[in-house]
Amino acid sequence: MSLSTDSPPLSILLFEREPRVAAWIGDLLTAHGVRTQTMRSLADVIKATRKRTPGAIIVDFASAGPLDDPHSRMGPDHTARVLRQIYPDLCIIVLSVPLDIQMEELCRELDVRLITKPLKSADLLSALTNCGLPTLTSERSHTRGHVVSGATLR
C-alpha cells in the first residue's frame, strides 16, 4: 500500500469527533500509504498547519459546532475560512450531513470538497485524488460494509 510517487508519506490532518469514524478514516488512509494525524479541536488543526503544512485536511462539520473549542469559540466555518486564507491551494475536505444547504454554499464559496455522511471509502479517496494529491493506490480492497456510528461505510 503506497502512494504512486517516491516522495515521503503524505500527511493528512483529521478532525473527526466520533472515535470509530476517525479510526476508520485513519485505517483507510494508512492502507493507502497516507499518514493521518487526528486533531482534538479545530484550533489544533490551525496550530498544526502552522508547524507543518499537511497534504490535506479532513474536517467533520457534522459533529463540530461553534463551541468546539471553548477557548477560541471557533466554529468549523471560521476554521475553513482561516485555512483557505492562509493556504489558498490546500486540499480541504469537509464531512457533513446530507441536505445541509448552508454547508454546500460555504464549501462552494471556499472551494473545498464536500462529502456527505455516511462515508464511502471510494468517495474519500476520490476527493483526495481530485484535490491534486498523488494518486492513492491499494493492493487490496478495504473495509467494505463496515458499520460505524450507525452508518454503513463502503
Give tens-digit pLDDT for 43-65: 888 889 988 889 999 998 866 55
Residues 6+ apart with CB under 8 A from 85: none
The reported pLDDT for the residue numbered 102 is 81
Please provide residue 16's backbone torsions phi and psi, each rounded to the nearest 5 degrees: -145, 120
CA 105 to CA 108: how far, in whole Å?
5
Reply yes or no on whether the pLDDT at 152 is more than 80: no
Task: Please report the domains of the chain, with CATH numbers, ordered by start residue.
Answer: 10-145 (3.40.50.2300)
Looking at the whole model, is its pTM more than 0.75? yes
Nearest of 37, 35, 112, 103 to residue 75 by alpha carbon: 103
Give tens-digit pLDDT for 68-121: 455 556 677 788 888 899 889 999 999 988 867 887 888 899 999 999 888 899
Per-residue pLDDT band at 1 (split at 50, 70, 90): very low
Please provide residue 134's backbone torsions phi and psi, each rounded to the nearest 5 degrees: -55, 145
Burial of 75 (0-12, 13-18, 19+ CB in 10 A): middle
CA 146 to CA 64: how far, in whole Å?
23
Nearest of 92, 112, 129, 120 to residue 28 by alpha carbon: 120
